[in-house]
Amino acid sequence: MASERDFGPNQLTQWLGLEPRQFRRAQARGLIPPPDIDDERWSLTLAKTVPDRLEEIAAALGGGQSAVSAPAPRAGRTSAGSRNAVNGRVFGPIQLAKWLGLENWQVPRGVQLGVIPPPDVDDKRWAEASVTTLPERVEEIRSAVGDHPGHGSIKAAEYLAERTKKDVERVDVQTLAAQGLLHPVAEFKGHPMYSLESLDTLPEEQIAAVVRRRHAWIETSLTPQEAATLLGWPVGKFEVTAERRGLTAGPLGRFPRADVEGLRT
């Protein structure tokens, strides 16, 4: 059976009719839900919740409905999409960061947050004419992007575990994000990044509740291998039988113990 269609960041951006910068800004502000497939892709079910909110997203980004219309071709490109014609100096991300006195990560973060314009040369570099006003806005940029790149879900779990002295795992961070309790500040290679401020201000009881629910689920559920062992079956027989009987895996790919035991009949 074919799996449900899913979307990577670029596919979802195009599907929603957004410009890449608009999508990144909306995601950084929590207007786009976090990916629900391997922390990097959106299921069709989740993606379907966004189109009805495009007007809300446009308003939050400071534009009208036109702000979420189909992206127009970039000016200055040939029909073959070749390199823009550029006069004068150009900057790559690292060169631009050095020129502005910023950390390397602060430039792409600034682009994601809309305080630095997107690259206008081959979608990778900046023409000098497009960044001439940035030196006088460095403090504004620093204020917007912060002084720490943030943590991905694995590091965020480690950070929260150290802060709370609880057994926090990556899946707990993903659950907190899915519940709307934790919002990414930006992304790195398609993965959400969480600011230290958001991790520090997250109430400990909310973290503990998610950890408790995970532990409770683990205690009352089984992995496919555990289920097969309980039934005395090969894993393949368990998986085929479970599918035929309409038994599907829950969180962490585990099955309710009571449902597994019911397969004996």
84, part of any domain: no
For every residue of 180-225, DSSP letters joined together read: TSS--SEEETTEEEB-HHHHHHS-HHHHHHHHHHHHHHHHTEE-HH
Of residues 171 and 15, the one with the higher pLDDT is 171
For tokens 């990556």, name the residue: 170
Structure tokens at 94: 């690292």
Amino acid identity, residue 209?
A
168 and 139 share one domain: no
Q: Provide the pLDDT confidence category of residue 79 given band limits of 50, 70 and 90.
A: very low
Domain end point (choices 145, 167, 192)? 145
* pLDDT tens profile 109-165: 888 888 999 999 888 899 988 898 999 999 999 988 888 888 999 999 999 999 999
Q: Whole-angstrom Cα distance, residue 205 to residue 212?
A: 10
For every residue of 29-68, DSSP letters joined together read: TT-SPPP-BTTTBEEHHHHTTSGGGHHHHHHHTT--GGGG
What is the average pLDDT score of the chain? 84
Residues β-bridged to residue 221: 256
165, part of any domain: yes
175 and 229 share one domain: no
233 and 193 share one domain: no
pTM: 0.55
Give the DSSP letter of residue 245: T
Range of the structural domain that residue 28 is part of = 6-68
Q: Where are the beta strands (DSSP E) in 59-104?
A: 90-91
